[in-house]
Structure 1
Amino acid sequence: MSDSLQRAKRLSQSRLSPIWIVPLLAALIGAWMVWDNFSSRGPLVTLDMDNAEGIEAGKTLIKTRNVEVGHVESVRLSDDLSHTVVTARMSSDAGRMLNSDTRFWVVKPRIGREGISGLGTVLSGAYIQLAPGKSDKYQDHFDVLDQPPVAPPDAPGLRINLVSQVGNSLSAGDPVTYQGYTVGRVESTDFDPEKREMRHRLFIQAPYDSLVTDTTRFWSASGIDVQLNSEGVSVNLDSFETLISGGVTFGVPEDVTQGSPAKQNATYTLYNSEESAREGTYDQYVEYVLLVDDTVRGLSRGAPVEYRGVRVGTVVSVPWHFTAPQPDGLNQFAIPVLIRIEPQRLESGEDINKKIDDQEVRQRFEKMFKELGLRATLKAGNLITGALFVDLNFSDDAPAYKPMTFDGKPVFPTVSGGFAQIEQKVSNLLDKLNNLKVEPILSSLDKTMQTSQKTLEQVQQIAESVNAIVSDPATQQLPGSVNDTLEELQNTLNGFSSGSSGYRQLNDTLKQLEQLMRDLQPVARTLSEKPNALIFDREVQADPTPRAAP
């Protein structure tokens, strides 16, 4: 029976079942997808921000030129809780844009000096803008800017640095103007606590960068600048934008050459005003000390030093080292004033930068002190404000010059100013008035007043008498009587007028009288020749006999 049974034979299968093809293929596809996803992943960057306003993990995009180049993966606080750390995944081809010059900032609605920007993000949400740099140094950790940069790093133009003292209030985005036209912007500002100075970074866009040279001066533009000093009133009005927010303006001072084009990252000084920028050109000077016996009220720092109306220097300090010992022989209460004589003010063009020999200038002034009587005087430059300036001129009656120094500085000789002279004359006049014998004058004046009083009383009595005469009725009737007499006289004269009977009678009488006078003439002649003719007869004389002819 066992032989009749047949054993089953075990056969081995040499090929796989077709059922395994599907999972194997799925595994291969999955591995390829994992490899493709890993190989297509871009670099991971870390962004530091003050706050994460508008930033959401998985939603906020990173763009450049409105093209998506990455997205935010996570948002968290820093370990010290001082800022926000944002981790973002960039696209595979974005690695070449990440270097030390790359800049990031958040694009969102903003209202600034240039208007409203970022309105497109009101509906779509904020995003992070990337500005690629051109540096060769790779970097994956960045600080996000608070404000969009003024210009990209590769923008054509000029970048310069300004250094100023504390007090110039500038901020990123403020305009840089030239003759009122905006040619650039302030990129950044920071304060150096060690040197106690402000540092500003400016960008001047092309083609206006050619306006900046090595002789250019920069000063703050406050919009409107009003100055009232010894030189009068000056008003300077800049653009409307600088009137609101301020800014920087620049130019080449008058009588200064244009100079050579400025270099990238050159450093300049930022002055407070155009006037101080112009004054900064005169960097060569000779210092003197004025020992003023008069009042210095109205004399301030920056006041001009003039020679016959031409400015040749500047007042530096009022007073200067007041407690220092003064030279012997002078008023111990004289007020020291430090001035600078700036010979560059008398030069122009290229000569303004010529090196000045200080010793030669001092020798020239010493000669004018000794031989010509050059002296300094305080004079009023503005009657409204009472501002003073230092006037240099020659004085004929100046005392002899004696060289001296004050705290190591040579002394510029001075004379009293016009106000001091007037004060001295008034003082002398008052002294003379005090020396006058006033009591005899007052006594004589009192007697004169008493005599005048009596005279006035007599005049008053005469006036009362005249008034009584005028008030008398007889006096009042006198004009009528005089009038009647005049009328009678007129009537009498009318009776002797031509053609009247009285006139004819008078005329006949006069004729008779004339005839009588003619008749009496022989009698008068006879009486004249022989007064006794009325008593004795007149002798008859014989007729004269004519002479015979010879």
Structure 2
Amino acid sequence: MPDTQRATRRTQRSLSPIWIVPLVAVLIGAWMIYDNLSRLGPSITLIMDNAEGIEAGKTLIKTRNVEVGRVEMVNLSDDLGHALITARMSPEAERMLNDETRFWVVKPRIGREGVSGLGTVLSGAYIQLLPGSGETRQDEFTVLEQPPVAPPDAPGLRVNLVSQVGNAITTGDPVTYQGYTVGRVEDSRFDPEKREMRHLLYIQAPYDVLVTSTTRFWTASGVDIRLDSQGFRVNVGSLESLVGGGVTFGVPENAAMGHPAKAGSTFLLFADEDSANEGSYDDYLEFVLLVDDTIRGLAPGAPVEYRGVRVGTVISAPWNFSAPQPDSLSRFAIPVLIRIEPQRFDDSLEEIDTQEWYQRLDRMFNNGLRASLKAGNLLTGALFVDLNFHQDVVPFQRMNFVERPVFPTTSGSFAQIEQKVSNLLDKFNNLEVEPILSTLNETLATTRQSMEKVNSIAASVDALLADPATGRMPENVNGTLRQLRDTLQGFAPDSQGYNELTQTLARLEQLMRDLQPVIRTLNDQPNALIFDKKLSEDPQPRAPH
């Protein structure tokens, strides 16, 4: 019986085509997840005092008006002191996140420099990113309350200002040079330990070369009105400084330009331009005036002048009033502290020899140099110190007052006027008034008699004018003039009288011509009218010898 072979049944397991679709979907989903994760940018945290206008999922983060992130969550901090903003940035924004990056909220603002952020009225507020150039990676940032004046790497110069409390300089105020805005105040902070204000100024390029080692900064007030011993002055700043003030700078007229300032240099902020100019005179000589006159109207800062040229400044009036005086037994003078500033004489003087100048002034004291108070403005009564040489003054002995040399003084103009008035009154008192009064009475009596005569003459003139005949006199004169005019008209060239007169004159002329031979005969022979006229013999010529 042949072997019967039986077939073996084997089951083959194969992947059904129906599973291809879910596998492809899984692969596509995994790829999409990977793609999303690879495209997902870094997450950062923004710290704000107030999250006004910030909405999760809506508020954008932009730089140069290009979206680089979006706010995901808005929460409060654990201590409830500020708001924490979680934002997701785009991958290309990761290289912008460093320790110099700045964030601030763009929304409608009305400031001294104008209105900004009006475009966010309809679109809503957004967060502006200013990329930094730092090397340290950072994921947590504090949002600024105000937009920064300039990027940290902006070309220009940043300097520090130190000032006393009381100025109105704030962040964003303009920095001007001769009325033109060249920068801004970036930061203003108060140092409680040193009790002073510190300001950070940014001067944009190319105006940073204007700031040198001799530059002076002062507060730019909107309107500066002064009425002092130097007259009436009005200074008006720019429109922006009128609203909020600012800072201005320049080089004093008596100072050299100096070398360019370095970044981070510190300068002193003065109250005004005059204070800044005065601050450039850092070498000076201090003297004390012992004034016998009143110092009412003499204020600190008043000028010390020599024949109209300013040579110093009044520092304090009075100064150490209760200190013992060198000659307190003979007088009670008012001490006034002044400074003589030799740098005003020569702009090139950077340092002065103090002893040499003290010796030079001592020689001037011996030659009659004295100080006195004079009125600089009659309207306000402001005084200034005038230096001049005087003759016949008491020799000055050098002395000190509270370790300061004393500058010799003399009576001021008002005291001199008072003395002259007093002397004039004394002369009046010494005059013999009675003889003068008697002479004056006689003069008045004579004057009275003269006035009586004048009144009598005036009465006679009035009576003459009141006479009717005097009133008719003009009519008589007019009648006479009319008759004379009529008479003259009768002798006009075309009148009959004129013709008759002409004919008469002609006959008279003819008669005179006829009488000429008779007159000539009578001249030759007066008896010719009685006797016959003698005939003259013919002349006989003489024979020659």
TM interval, shorter chain, is 0.7 to 0.9
The answer to whether structure 1 residue 358 and structure 2 residue 358 are counterparts is: no
SS of structure 1 residue aligned to 2:121? helix
The answer to whether structure 1 residue 252 and structure 2 residue 251 are counterparts is: yes
Aligned to 2:100: 101
Aligned to 1:488: none
Listed one character per residue, the Cα deviations across residues 113-165 of structure 1 (whole Å, up to 9, x for unaligned) are 33332222222111101000111122222222222222222222222222222
**Structure 1 vs Structure 2: percent identity of aligned residues?**
68
Deviation for aligned residue 1:84: 2.4
Bigger shift: residues 105-114 or 28-37: 28-37
Aligned to 1:120: 119
Letter in 2 for 1:129: Q
Distance of 1:342 and 1:278 partners within structure 2: 12
Letter in 1 for 2:377: N
SS of structure 1 residue aligned to 2:42? strand
Aligned to 2:295: 296
5 Å-filtered alignment, 1:50-129, equals 50-129=49-128
Aligned to 1:513: none
The answer to whether structure 1 residue 374 and structure 2 residue 369 are counterparts is: yes
Distance of 1:451 and 1:394 partners within structure 2: 49
The answer to whether structure 1 residue 396 and structure 2 residue 395 are counterparts is: no
Q: TM-score with structure 2 length normalisation? A: 0.75
Q: In the superposition, relative to structure 1, how do residues 451 and 185 fare at CA in structure 2: closer, same or farther (>3 Å)?
A: closer
Task: Kindly tell me the number of residue pairs found equivalent between the two proteins.
Answer: 457
Deviation for aligned residue 1:29: 4.1
Gaps of 5+ in 2: 1-7, 464-545
Aligned to 1:542: none
Aligned to 1:407: 402
Q: Do the aligned residues in 2 keep the contact of 1:226 with 1:235 (CA within 8 Å)?
A: yes
Distance of 1:206 and 1:450 partners within structure 2: 92
Aligned to 1:334: 333
Deviation for aligned residue 1:414: 0.8
Q: In the superposition, relative to structure 1, how do residues 330 and 437 fare at CA in structure 2: closer, same or farther (>3 Å)?
A: farther
SS of structure 2 residue aligned to 1:42? coil
Aligned to 1:528: none
Q: In the superposition, relative to structure 1, how do residues 275 and 65 fare at CA in structure 2: closer, same or farther (>3 Å)?
A: same
Distance of 1:401 and 1:332 partners within structure 2: 16
Deviation for aligned residue 1:102: 0.9
Distance of 2:167 and 2:263 partners within structure 1: 23
Q: In the superposition, relative to structure 1, how do residues 451 and 390 fare at CA in structure 2: closer, same or farther (>3 Å)?
A: closer
5 Å-filtered alignment, 1:460-471, equals none
Distance of 2:169 and 2:121 partners within structure 1: 30
Aligned to 2:496: none
Q: Do the aligned residues in 1 keep the contact of 2:113 with 2:240 (CA within 8 Å)?
A: no
Q: In the superposition, relative to structure 1, how do residues 452 and 271 fare at CA in structure 2: closer, same or farther (>3 Å)?
A: closer
5 Å-filtered alignment, 1:68-467, equals 68-329=67-328, 331-348=330-347, 351-353=348-350, 355-369=351-365, 371-430=366-425
Deviation for aligned residue 1:400: 1.9
Deviation for aligned residue 1:446: 10
Q: In the superposition, relative to structure 1, how do residues 451 and 133 fare at CA in structure 2: closer, same or farther (>3 Å)?
A: closer
Distance of 2:316 and 2:358 partners within structure 1: 20
Letter in 2 for 1:173: G
Distance of 1:150 and 1:451 partners within structure 2: 90
Deviation for aligned residue 1:374: 1.6
Q: Do the aligned residues in 2 keep the contact of 1:256 with 1:352 (CA within 8 Å)?
A: no
Aligned to 2:508: none
Aligned to 1:518: none
Deviation for aligned residue 1:229: 1.5
Distance of 1:352 and 1:23 partners within structure 2: 94
5 Å-filtered alignment, 1:12-27, equals 23=22, 25-27=24-26
Deviation for aligned residue 1:40: 2.9
Q: Do the aligned residues in 2 keep the contact of 1:77 with 1:84 (CA within 8 Å)?
A: yes
Distance of 2:398 and 2:430 partners within structure 1: 40
Q: In the superposition, relative to structure 1, how do residues 61 and 229 fare at CA in structure 2: closer, same or farther (>3 Å)?
A: same
Q: Do the aligned residues in 2 keep the contact of 1:293 with 1:331 (CA within 8 Å)?
A: no
Distance of 2:406 and 2:355 partners within structure 1: 15
Aligned to 1:506: none
Distance of 2:352 and 2:193 partners within structure 1: 34
Gaps of 5+ in 1: 1-8, 472-550
Listed one character per residue, the Cα deviations across residues 441-494 of structure 1 (whole Å, up to 9, x for unaligned) are 59x9699989989x989x99xx99xx9xx99xxxxxxxxxxxxxxxxxxxxxxx
Letter in 2 for 1:375: R
CA RMSD of aligned residues (A): 3.5
Deviation for aligned residue 1:88: 1.3
